[in-house]
Amino acid sequence: MIKFWSSLALLLLSFGAQSQDMRFIKQSIYTLAGPGFGGRGYVANGRDKAARFLHRNFSEMRLNSFYDSGNFYQQYHFSVNTFPNKVELKLGKKYMEPGVDFIVDAGSVGFRTAEKSKMDIINLNKIKDSIQWQKLKSSFRSDKVYQLKHFDTLCNRMNSSHRVMVQQLPAACYLIPQNNKLIWTVATDNIPATVFYVADSSLAKGKKVEVHVQHKFLKKAPSNNVIGYIPGTLVPDSFFVFTAHYDHLGKMGNQAIFPGANDNASGTAFMLALAKYFKENPPKYSIAFIAFSGEEAGLLGSSHYVAHPAFPLSNIKFLVNIDLMGDASDGLTVVNAEEQNNAFELLQKINTAKNYLPKINSRGNAPNSDHYPFTQAKVPAIFIYAMGGKGHYHDVFDRPKELSLNKIPEVFRLLCDFINQKSHQ
């Protein structure tokens, strides 16, 4: 009977701890993806506010610093194009809603139409070869607005990517109709033109158009990785590493905010909860926690870290990168599982024994998150992301209230078990 009550007490303590972990994760997501952080981008100091939030959490958890200064920042710089003020598009009598009806290409420069402007509507189906395309481009005027119909068809005909074709457009303003979802990104350089991607369903008939876009190119803007660690009780010179990127797309003008709740406030909050857990349950090996900036701009933070590590990369026993952790109803996907087959099999073994998740998928390596620069440096690493949810990605609808966090406690327990068993290998 005593054994029964002891087991029950441990079980209740476990459920209590899990509940606290989930409250902490949810609160952190709502903070990081809240309006005050402006999408953790490059307008209104959004990513800097997020970095300070992480720094404060590391400090309050009493994580150790790798740096003599005692702080958790690793600063570096990169250039980025921003839209801090107006991004406006009016077709006919309709003001288009930024982020919903249209997005502006992240590399666009500023543009403003004259009063009572009209746009030229061009059917690119009529362009049959590169000679005709070059002739048409040479006719474009830098003060005009053009709607380019069937742009994707032309890209295919020219055997060129959409991105390359847009970069080659001469200075002017272009509206490119879109059938697919509007997905924004970050640009570290400029294109010559101002380009709008406009939802087909939002296009108004007629040729009247008003455009006002203000951009600001930030050259060598400072950014910070946030790094802390918990020293191991038995093997302090060998590290497990958890990583997550905290940056997102930020603001497109003064209206549209891309909150980035799933991508990647969820993964960052999850990593913070792991730091909190392991601080309260000291590990055998040291565990480092690295929150990267610059992921959306091209894995810049993780690439900088790999080039300037806080401790030797050879001391990393294993690295787990966490991204898109808002809903695991359909399980988990492990990127680089094929190359790290032993780790994948261990995750599968734990999951089968504990019945945490409906499935764990294996995927080959890909340069789709911050694990990749480490794998290129021969560090054993995987990238995990949750499967499930509403599929909001790089859009204005990726908000905290859209995340169910279903099965996320199970992912948390899975990773804790994984580290525990990996420590005994």
Q: Model confidence over 163-194: pLDDT tens digits?
A: 999 999 999 999 999 999 999 999 999 999 99
Interval 113-126 mean pLDDT: 92
Residue 135 in this model has a pLDDT that exceeds 90: yes
Residue among 76, 80, 73, 71 nearest 301 (CA): 76
Q: What is the pLDDT, as a whole number, of residue 5?
A: 44
Q: Model confidence over 369-387: pLDDT tens digits?
A: 999 999 999 999 999 999 9
Q: Which domains does the chain have, with CATH numbers?
A: 18-81+219-422 (3.40.630.10), 86-213 (3.50.30.30)
Residue among 48, 5, 27 nearest 269 (CA): 27
3-state DSSP call for residue 181? coil
Residue 12 in this model has a pLDDT that exceeds 80: no
Q: What is the pLDDT, as a whole number, of residue 243?
A: 98
C-alpha–C-alpha distance, residues 229 and 342, integer Å: 25
Tokens encoding 34 = 């809240």
C-alpha–C-alpha distance, residues 291 and 61, integer Å: 15
Interval 396-408 mean pLDDT: 97
Q: What is the pLDDT, as a whole number, of residue 114?
A: 87
Q: Model confidence over 255-307: pLDDT tens digits?
A: 999 999 999 999 999 999 999 999 999 999 999 999 999 999 999 999 999 99
Q: What is the pLDDT, as a whole number, of residue 333?
A: 98
Place of tokens 């200075």: 171
Interval 312-324 mean pLDDT: 98
Interval 67-76 mean pLDDT: 95
Q: How many CB atoms are closer than 10 A to CB 217?
A: 16
Confidence of residue 205 (pLDDT cuts 50, 70, 90): confident
Tokens encoding 237 = 């010179």
Q: What is the pLDDT, as a whole number, of residue 369?
A: 98
Helix axes 408-422 and 341-354, enclosed angle (nearest 10) = 120
Residue 6 in this model has a pLDDT that exceeds 50: no
Pairing of strands 285-292, 235-245: parallel
**Helix, strand, coil share of the chain (percent; to 5):** 35, 25, 40
Higher pLDDT, 211 or 205: 211
Return phi, psi of residue 287, to 5°: -130, 125
